[in-house]
Amino acid sequence: MVSDSALLSKTSREVSENLTKNKNALDTAIDTMKLFSTVREEISKQSKQISDVLAVLAEVAEGKAEIRSTLVAVQKLEKRVQSKSYICIDALGECKEICFLPILRSLQELLKDSTLGPPLYIFITARPHVERHVQQRLGNIQSQSSVRIGADESDVRKYLVHQIESDISDIEMGSDIRNEIITHISTVSNGMFLLAALQIKAILEKTTIRDRCEAFQATTYDLYGLFRNTIDKINQYPKPKAKQAMEVLKWVFLAKRPLKSGELRHVLAIRPGDKELDIEGLPSEKSLLECCLGLVNIGKGDHFRFVHKSLHDYLTIQKEQRGLFKTVILRLVIPVLLI
């Protein structure tokens, strides 16, 4: 039998990847089960502890006013604890299905558990695509109310007016053009500040009224389309600036954890063959932000991050389908670690 070594290698790699993926899924499920097992224990323990305290206080409270007042306070607390318990989960949709589905299954088990005592109320914030999964797993157990949060059109208009008035260029757009831009963008942005922000940025960066009008007419109202257009504009920069912007996007996208401003600046300053850090090669924080045309910002903890989770989703698709960021960055790992 003749074996194709390339095919064998590919098959072996796929099997290994599947095993790793399944192991990660199993580990996630086990961790989630442990977490909610602890939650169940804490809810039961909380109720039992208060009951135990009440029993002790009741025995010694006879004729002692100061203890009786404590007993009354604990009794009130017990009523509150026994009336309801809450589990609040924020940003559930920011993790992949492999993570949030076990969480929903565990919540389902908690809601079905009649031994817990107090009614359990669950509050979840998530992106819209998670709502279907929540309804499937929790809807038949507990009544649901959902609220969709978006930017009010009047808020978007105020933002657009502010951006136009803050424009430091010498271009004087007439009131008709200004009003048309503001009205149109605030209407079609559909409550998404990010969409409006990218649209007005794309328009105001133009250097003539004609170019701004053409940019306005050509503006796409698909979020992924806006990301694509913005990256295309980045690639039209002079080569050094375009390279820097794409390096920023690459490191923010591929990093295992969010990078602090100083960390990212140090990484971008290092070149193959460097034995030590040359501080004259450090890019400024301002230049890193400006060259990315609003696709990245600095969040809490001085960390560089994407302007929205949907940009990470878009880049993931581009990486899988078009090989975006295929360039290996391992060549920098050893110098970075040594420095």
Q: In the predicted model, what is the mean pLDDT of residues 6-34?
A: 47
Same domain for 179 and 131, yes or no, is no
Residues 89 and 131 in one domain: yes
Least-confidence region, from 35-49, 234-248, 249-263, 324-338: 324-338
Higher pLDDT, 85 or 51: 85
pLDDT band at 225 (very low <50, low <70, confident <90, very high): confident
* Mean pLDDT, the chain, whole residue set: 75
Same domain, 59 and 110: yes
Q: Is 147 contained in some domain?
A: no
Residue 186 lies in a domain: yes
Domain count, the chain: 3
Q: Which of 113, 138, 163 is the last residue of a domain?
A: 138
Q: Which of 221, 245, 276 is the last residue of a domain?
A: 221
Rounded CA-CA distance 316/56 in Å is 59
Residue 262 lies in a domain: yes
**Distance of alpha carbon 185 from alpha carbon 164, whole angstroms:** 13
Is residue 229 in a domain? Answer: no
Residues 176 and 288 in one domain: no
Q: Are residues 179 and 91 in the same domain?
A: no
User: In this structure, is residue 90 part of a structural domain?
Assistant: yes
pLDDT in tens, 266-278: 989 988 777 888 8
Residue 148 belongs to some domain of the structure: no
Give the lowest-confidence range in 10-24, 40-54, 77-91, 271-285.
10-24
The reply to whether 39 falls in a domain is yes
Q: Give the model's pLDDT for residue 15.
A: 41
> Are residues 33 and 106 both part of a single domain?
yes
Going by pLDDT thresholds of 50, 70 and 90, the confidence category of residue 241 is very high
172 and 58, same domain (yes or no): no
Q: Do 19 and 111 fall into the same domain? A: yes
Summarize pLDDT for 140-193 with one digit per residue, the tens: 766 777 777 777 888 889 999 999 999 888 888 888 889 989 988 888 877 778
Domain match, 170 and 130 both: no
Q: Does position 19 have pLDDT exceeding 50, yes or no? A: no
The percent of residues above 70 in pLDDT, for the chain, comes to 68
Given a cut of 60, whether residue 27 has pLDDT beyond it is: no
**Residues 295, 195 share a domain:** no
- Judge if 173 and 110 occupy the same domain: no
Q: What is the mean pLDDT of residues 303-323?
A: 86
Same domain, 242 and 320: yes
CATH code of residue 306: 1.10.10.10
Q: Which of 132-136, 143-147, 260-264 has the lowest mean pLDDT?
A: 143-147
Does the pLDDT at position 1 exceed 80? no
pLDDT band for position 83 (50/70/90)?
low
Q: Does residue 143 lie in a domain region?
A: no
Q: Residue 267's domain spans which residues? A: 236-338
pLDDT for 37: 62
